[in-house]
Structure 1
């Protein structure tokens, strides 16, 4: 059994291509003995994003605080997400998240530990971006 406070888990910058002002806390990971699912806490600060991408595994998302927009490029539509919303992203469905200048969003992601094969496909070539700001420190 593992018991911890999320505040005690180290925060990492999301270093995926095109990510902006996004962090991750790996709350439960394979290093903790998880052999089926991992649980991560993401935060996307104002004018932030995880760019459109897809992968060969599903994941489930729960919006804890704030708001952001889910981008679905294949469907050519955006969905506004708010605290309390639950999202299921099927395998191979392109998706991304973006916040506006006055938005911050914190959300939980559940994903499988075994990802066939371990590969993300990002729909951008831009480098990740992260600048610490007052009130949003890692």
Structure 2
């Protein structure tokens, strides 16, 4: 006798993840800190949540876009300068900036205070690999633009201007 599938009741599961304030894998990219909170592994590649700490005058990313994921910025402390297409905004604590795919954007800290934000990627596209590759690429001297672009493209990031894509102030 074949077991009959139940189409009328949900099967409940307990798969919640609770990541406390000081938990998560932490990477230090030069002076920028990234903490993995909800990873691709936890969310089955559906969601990535990362805490970012940008020190004074640091650049998070120059103008770029994504084809397959949306990105959301939640400013927790400080004032984040965010560029969306050809406009710049000062995002204060509590500000949420939703950037759907194919929208050029970049972000940086133009102040003398540290900016803390939460980045959300949906889907996550294994973003942790991007951050780990970024760590390796940006710690090379000199920074190899071809390697940087290869990393960007592998993880669904496309610079608007490849001659001005490395996140350093000139």
Same fold (TM over 0.5): yes
Deviation by residue 1:43-93 (Cα, 9 ceiling, x = unmatched): 111010122211112122211111121123x3x221011101111111111
- Give the one of 101, 106, 109 matched to 1:99: 109
Q: Equivalent residues in 2 for 1:71-110 (5 A)? A: 71-72=83-84, 74=85, 76-110=86-120
SS of structure 2 residue aligned to 1:4: coil
- Using the alignment, how far apart are the partners of 1:104 and 1:9 within structure 2? 20
CA distance in 2, matches of 1:10, 1:114: 16
CA distance in 2, matches of 1:80, 1:127: 19
More strand by share: 1
Q: Which residue of 2 aligns with 1:70?
A: 82
Larger helix proportion of the pair: 2
**Structure 1 residue 52 corresponds to structure 2 residue 89:** no
User: Any gaps of 5 or more consecutive residues in structure 2?
Assistant: 1-15, 126-153
- Tell me if 1:22 matches 2:62: no
Query: What is the rounded CA distance, in whole Å, between the counterparts of 1:69 and 1:83 in structure 2?
Result: 12
Q: Tell me how many residue pairs correspond in the alignment.
A: 121
Q: Structure 1: which 5+ runs fail to align?
A: 15-19, 130-138
Q: Which has the larger radius of gyration?
A: 2
Whole-angstrom distance in 1 between the partners of 2:167 and 2:108? 16
Which structure carries more relative contact order (alpha carbon 8 Å, separation 6+)?
A: 1
How does the TM-score come out when normalised to structure 2?
0.61
Question: How does the TM-score come out when normalised to structure 1?
Answer: 0.73
Partner-residue secondary structure (3-state), 1:31: helix
Would the alpha carbon gap of residues 66 and 125 (structure 1) be closer, same or farther in structure 2, given more than 3 Å must change? closer
